[in-house]
Amino acid sequence: MKKFPLLSLRLSCVGLLLTCLPTLSMANDKLRILTWADYVPKDVAAQFTKETGITVELTLSNNEEMISKLRATGGAGFDLVQPSQDRIAAPAVEFGIYKAIDLSKINTANFIPEMWESSKQVTTVNGKTYGVPFYWGTDGLVVASADIADYSDLCKPAVRGKVAIRLKRPSLIAMAFSMGLDPFKAYATPKLYEQIMQQAGDKLIACKKNYKYFWESKDQLLNDLRTGELVAAQMWDSGGWKLNSENPHLKFIAPRSGALGWIDAYALPAKGKNDTAAYAWINFVTRPEIAGRMATSARTFTVIKQAEKFMAPKMQQQFQETFSAAALKNIHWYPAIPAGLEELDGKILDKIKAAP
């Protein structure tokens, strides 16, 4: 994915949007959404139901689980899912778990044009688009120490037993970048990609004793950073800025080698039963005032024009404190991951987990 002039895009003012929800008559209908925690505030779901008569049923998950659930059912069980956009094209081709988006049913004028077009490139296969972007953010470091500026610094003896990361592929990707390698450029050459990931995996194993744990519970991670049990951890900007709001001593930083940039998108499961409700939801949440409320609740940003007008000013301040102009240009945006690479990552992650 190409890099964006994100800050300027967010602050741009393009004029009044006239997007509105189509008139619907689907009382007592249900929309089943598979998404991340904190992505759908209760008041937003309630307003959607009030306007449309459609009730919202949420199931919380993550990228790996979303793909696994849909693979197990052939794309059934949900009407709308929200994976990261780099995880859409390959599963659509390899597993057939998604159906193409009918772009004529989406109010595309609501989106920041550059991000909409770039997202289409990432999620389009054989001329058909499978993803609609919504949230975006970064993966970096929360630190309580000025001595930690990059992922490789988590291996310093001084922080032994006081740092944490997730045992997921972003940890491998991030460690590779901190070692001066570029796994994204190697996507097209699997052998080179495997070599890079193995080097990153070996580095993680070499400093495994530095990690207090590989975190899975965000609540546990936040609490340990609050109490000083941890002095640094890999995490998303939303969690880092939440901690910074509570304690200015804790800061979310863009690593020296660059933060990882992601976009979470909407996709239609291949056997979803209520596409009409799914399109209604997409057009509802991409209204700027709704997108701004959701972004504030999730503590992350959206690709919707003028949503920033409805977001908490504190978020803009924290974003600017984290990202200098140079750091913004140095964000590594996830390209669409080719089929087969995640299996390779999984083997390396298993090796790290099993290592003493």
- Per-residue confidence (pLDDT) for residue 269, from 0 to 100: 98
Kindly state the tokens that stand for 303. Answer: 């690709």
Q: Side chain identity at 121, as an amino acid letter?
A: Q
- Angle, CA of 55, 27 and 276, to the nearest 5°: 75
Mean of pLDDT over the chain:
91
- 16: number of Cβ within 10 Å: 8
Q: Which of 77, 34, 38 is nearest to 58 (CA)?
A: 34
CA–CA separation, 297 and 60 (whole Å): 16
- Per-residue confidence (pLDDT) for residue 70, from 0 to 100: 97
- 227: number of Cβ within 10 Å: 8
pTM: 0.83
Element (H, E) at 165: strand 163-165
Give the up-direction half-sphere exposure of residue 329: CA atoms within 13 A in the CB hemisphere. 3
DSSP reduced 3-state for 89: helix
CA–CA separation, 337 and 323 (whole Å): 26
Per-residue pLDDT of the chain (356 residues; tens, 9 = 90+): 433 444 444 434 333 333 444 444 444 599 999 999 999 999 999 999 999 999 999 999 999 999 999 999 999 999 999 999 999 999 999 999 999 999 999 999 999 999 999 899 999 999 999 999 999 999 999 999 889 999 999 999 999 999 999 999 999 999 999 999 999 999 999 999 999 999 999 999 999 999 999 999 889 999 999 999 999 999 999 999 999 999 999 999 999 999 999 999 999 999 999 999 999 999 999 999 999 999 999 999 999 999 999 998 999 899 999 999 999 999 999 999 998 898 999 999 999 999 99
Between strands 232-236 and 251-253, the pairing is unpaired
Between strands 232-236 and 132-143, the pairing is antiparallel
- Per-residue confidence (pLDDT) for residue 101, from 0 to 100: 97
CA–CA separation, 16 and 138 (whole Å): 29
Which residues lie below 8 Å from residue 208, measured CB to CB, with a gap of 6+?
352, 355, 356
The pLDDT tens digits of the residues spanning 66-101 come to 999 999 999 999 999 999 999 999 999 999 999 999
Burial class (CB in 10 A: 0-12, 13-18, 19+), 8: exposed
- Per-residue confidence (pLDDT) for residue 146, from 0 to 100: 82
- 243: number of Cβ within 10 Å: 21
